[in-house]
Structure formats: C-alpha cells, structure tokens
C-alpha cells in the first residue's frame, strides 16, 4: 500500500473512533469538506 492510502485509512479510522465526519473535520479546520477529502 502507498503512504497516501495508509494515511487516508488511518484518518478514516480516527474520525470513526471520534464520531466525526469529514464535514465536522472540515468545519474545525476552517476548510471546505471537498478540500479535506482530497
């Protein structure tokens, strides 16, 4: 697996553990959800 794939999988797992969505993360970072998903 590539480093990027590993990072995305780790992020998804952490978000799920925290009960957060990409939209929640984007809001807390002051970014658009589409930018967070890239």
pLDDT digits (tens, 9 = 90+) for 16-36: 999 999 999 999 999 999 998
The whole-number pLDDT of residue 1 equals 62
Of residues 37 and 33, the one with the higher pLDDT is: 33
Split at pLDDT 50, 70, 90, the class of 38 is confident
The whole-angstrom separation of Cα 7 and Cα 1 is 10
31, 4, 6, 2: which is closest to 22 by C-alpha?
31
The whole-angstrom separation of Cα 35 and Cα 11 is 14
């Amino acid at each position: 697996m590539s480093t990027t794939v590993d990072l995305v999988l780790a992020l998804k797992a952490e978000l799920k553990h925290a009960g957060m969505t990409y939209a929640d993360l984007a809001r807390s970072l002051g970014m658009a959800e589409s930018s967070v998903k890239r």
